[in-house]
Amino acid sequence: MKKLLALTTLILAAFTAQADTLSPEGIWKTIDDETGKAKSLVQIWIDNGELKGKIIELIEPDEENPKCTECEGDLKDAPILGMEFIWGLKEEDGVWDNGNILDPASGSVYSSKIEVIEDGAKLDVRGYIGFAFAGRSQIWEKAEAPKTEAVKATEETDAVK
């Protein structure tokens, strides 16, 4: 009986661990589907069953502190860094769908679908108008949170010692 209980506990722990790795929550490196270059780090989280995302770091931006000049409404001329650009996605059978994603370069808002792939190592992020099959996808890679200035300073001090 103890062996059966231990085995059941082990199996449940394995399923729980797998479910955690298949969550879209976390930090992701966006990869431009046209150039293949990393563009930004984004934070994805779930808020009351809704998947959301914001830009937390820009990688080699064309200008310092870029703004969303092509956006409309409240986002017009808003800083891209810190911008919430994914909202409204709801999960169904492991796929997050029926929400929106904003392209800060064009100011365009698209319907969006996001799915965790490759055992949680990547996200398939699709933006589309009308039907999902008629859109564009990017594959984003799991990343670590960017280091704060305090952490960078501590590492530099430790390296000197």
Each residue of 97-123: pLDDT tens digit? 999 999 999 999 999 999 999 999 999
Task: Count the neighbouring beta carbons within 10 Å of the beta carbon of residue 31.
Answer: 17
List the one residue out of 144, 145, 143, 124 whose CA is nearest residue 135: 124
Assigned domain for 84 exists: yes
The answer to whether position 120 is within a domain reads yes
Residue 76 lies in a domain: yes
Tell me the three state secondary structure of residue 28: strand
CATH for 39: 2.40.128.520
- The whole domain housing 70 covers 24-144
pLDDT digits (tens, 9 = 90+) for 34-91: 899 999 999 999 999 999 999 999 999 999 999 999 999 999 999 999 999 999 999 9
- φ, ψ of residue 125 in degrees (nearest 5): -110, 120
Q: How many domains does the chain have?
A: 1
- Please report whether residue 138 resides in a domain: yes
- The pTM of this model reads 0.78
Going by pLDDT thresholds of 50, 70 and 90, the confidence category of residue 135 is confident
The three-state secondary structure class of 159 is helix
Task: List b or e across 32-62, with b for residues whose CB sees 16 or more CB atoms inside 10 angstroms.
Answer: eeeeeeebbbbbbeeeeeebbbebbbbeeee
Report if residue 128 sits inside a domain.
Answer: yes
pLDDT tens digits, 3-40: 544 444 444 444 444 444 589 999 999 998 889 999 99
